[in-house]
A and B are shown apart, each in its own frame.
Chain A
């Protein structure tokens, strides 16, 4: 075959490292998304960290397993869903009688709490969800080109 120069043989150490680091990547990325409004970090950064879990899955188990575990169609739809949620939360400012992206429903907890800053917290979550799905979809899309012989047959 012409395109059979991808990463075919996976070393046991790479597999074990992917096993060990994947839960940490997921937990750390989701932590950064959740605490984006009260700590350094935010939606974009945490989303990219979570999407690196898809890359770890590819490195450890190959494209076939990664594309089976993560449904790319679902990821593609959910990315648009996150963007829609962001726009709706921005429009909530208009419905509350102010301008677009205005922060409403604020001051519902002590300063520094997880949910204390109003709708901008949830806007951050929407951006994180969108970036998570989008970057994971982009990674799987581009790694599909490296898979030998398309998506059908891989060792």
Chain B
């Protein structure tokens, strides 16, 4: 029992050290990702036809590319709707079928439960 406790404490200490070291490393060395501070998204959205390539490079990420290229690629006026129903249409289809399957399964279980309860009540009376 004592050896187990010692092993647990040692592994916890190693985990704590590794997480603290990782946090310090991330704080100091990792580059900052795209957070949208340098991009005027509204202006890009309004002139998506005329936006130059260096503006896309300046935006540093997928957002500006999507906003610029969306109309040419997906022919959709709304970017998010085009992603949900066009680019990721299979994903939405799968979500729909998940709900359908869950409801069918619970229908089977609950109807059997109801039959069981009816039998019990008739026995009681």
Residues of chain A whose beta carbon lies under 8 Å from any beta carbon of chain B: 1-3, 36-38, 42, 44, 76, 79-80, 82-83, 86-87, 90, 100-103, 106-107, 111-112, 116-118, 120-121, 123-124, 127, 130-131, 134-135, 137-138, 141-142, 144-145, 149-151
CA distance A34 to B96 in the complex (A): 18
B30 contacts the other chain (CB 8 A): no
Instruction: Determine whether B120 belongs to the interface, using a CB cutoff of 8 Å to chain A.
Output: yes
B residues near A (Cβ < 8 Å) are 74-78, 81-82, 84-86, 89-90, 92-93, 95-97, 99-100, 102-103, 106-107, 110, 113-114, 117-118, 120-121, 124
Query: How far in angstroms is the closest Cβ of chain B from A19?
Result: 28
A-B contacts at CB below 8 angstroms, number? 106
- CB pair B81–A141 under 8 Å, yes or no, is no
Whether the Cβ atoms of B117 and A3 lie closer than 8 Å is yes
Considering the chains assembled together, what is the distance between the CA atoms of A37 and B90 in angstroms?
17
Interface of B is mostly: helix
Contact A87 B78 (CB under 8 A): no
Contact, CB under 8 Å: B100 / A116: no
- The answer to whether A117 and B82 touch across the interface, beta carbons within 8 angstroms, is yes
How far apart are the CA atoms of A68 and B37 in the complex, in Å? 55
Please name all residues of chain A whose beta carbon is closer than 8 Å to the beta carbon of B95 when the two chains form the complex. 44
A90 touches B89 (CB 8 A): yes
Q: How far is the CA of A137 from the CA of B110 in the complex (A)?
A: 12
When C-beta atoms are compared, the residue in chain A nearest to B115 turns out to be A150
B106 and A101 contact, CB distance less than 8 A: no
Contact A120 B114 (CB under 8 A): no
27 contacts between A and B (CB under 8 A): A3-B117, A38-B77, A38-B78, A38-B81, A76-B103, A76-B107, A82-B96, A83-B96, A101-B86, A101-B89, A101-B92, A102-B86, A112-B77, A120-B82, A120-B85, A123-B85, A130-B96, A131-B99, A134-B99, A135-B99, A137-B107, A141-B103, A141-B106, A141-B110, A142-B110, A145-B114, A151-B114
Given the interface pairs A79-B100, A118-B76, A145-B113, the reply to whether A36 lies near B81 with Cβ below 8 Å is: yes
Q: How far does the Cβ of B125 sit from chain A's closest Cβ, in whole Å?
A: 9
Which A residues are in CB contact (< 8 Å) with B117?
3, 150
Is B90 touching A100 in the complex (CB atoms < 8 A)?
A: yes
CA distance A1 to B117 in the complex (A): 11
In addition to A80-B100, A107-B77, A124-B81, 13 A-B residue pairs with Cβ atoms within 8 Å of each other are: A2-B120, A37-B78, A38-B77, A42-B81, A42-B84, A101-B89, A117-B82, A118-B76, A123-B92, A135-B99, A145-B110, A145-B113, A151-B114
- Evaluate whether A150 and B76 lie within 8 angstroms (CB atoms) in the complex, with A131-B99, A141-B110 already known: no
